[in-house]
Amino acid sequence: MAITGFQAGAARCLLGNIPVEEVVGFLEISKQNYYKFERENAGIGTKTKETLRLFFENRGAQFHGKSGVVVPEEKIRILRESDGFRLFMDDVYNTVKITGGEICVANVDERHWIKWMGQNLYDAHAARMSKLANFNFKILIRETDNFFIASEIGDYRGVPEKDFSDQSFYVYGNKMAVIKFAPDDVEITIHDDKSIADGMRYFFNLIWPNAKVLS
């Protein structure tokens, strides 16, 4: 669903005055056309408006009707598509940088990471994570998989195919994310809840000692 120029301007403000350069760079349009949209509700097409809505929603905005927009402080956040996936990995880095601790990731096929981030952005993410010395990273994949992209910062173990699921989960800090991959979409639901994160870590660490060590 498309949004109005008023909603776009309000969302940009509520989300911390996102620079116009960031917005137009994402949309691949000119500043002139974007400013015309915010001020006059003109200058960009419906498809671009829908893309812009996704841009703001992935950052936490919620739109209502043709004039409403809020940025609630909720414990559940849903991100989608490549932009959302990149925001998720930014959140992982920023959270771990502050909290440290144990990162537990399960049901992972890391080809998805390359698909939705791109090799260059993933490499940049791995490089910044490698500079942190305050975390322990455990990753469960298929025991037959040999595609490792985080071996410099994490430890891998494998589970049998019958125990593997295409729905990944990622526990970091006091957060737990559930990641649903589809051929043309990805959806990340982040629960900012210590009890959920601690519970998932507990079950993960029940499995970990019996999983196959991979090299």
- The predicted-structure confidence for 81-130, as pLDDT tens digits, reads as follows 999 999 999 999 999 999 999 999 999 999 999 999 999 999 999 999 99
CATH code for residues 5-70: 1.10.260.40
The domains of the chain are located at 5-70, 76-213
Q: Please state, rounded to an integer, the average pLDDT across all residues of the chain.
A: 91
Give the pLDDT of residue 14: 85
3-class DSSP state for residue 168?
Answer: strand
The CATH superfamily assigned to 76-213 is Endonuclease Chain A (3.30.870.10)
pLDDT per residue as tens digits for the range 148-199: 898 889 999 999 998 888 789 999 999 999 999 998 999 999 999 999 999 9
Distance CA 105, CA 12 (A): 33
* Residue pair 75/192 in contact by the 8 Å Cβ criterion: yes
With a pLDDT cut of 90, the percent of the chain lying above it is 69
CA max distance for the chain: 61
Angle at 73 between CA 68 and CA 78, to 5 degrees: 80
163 exposed, middle or buried (CB, 10 Å; 0-12, 13-18, 19+)?
middle
Specify the amino acid at residue 65. Answer: G
pTM beyond 0.85: no
- What per-residue confidence (pLDDT) applies to 74? 66
Look-up: residue for tokens 């660490």?
Answer: 205
Report d(CA 33, CA 46) in Å as an integer.
Answer: 13
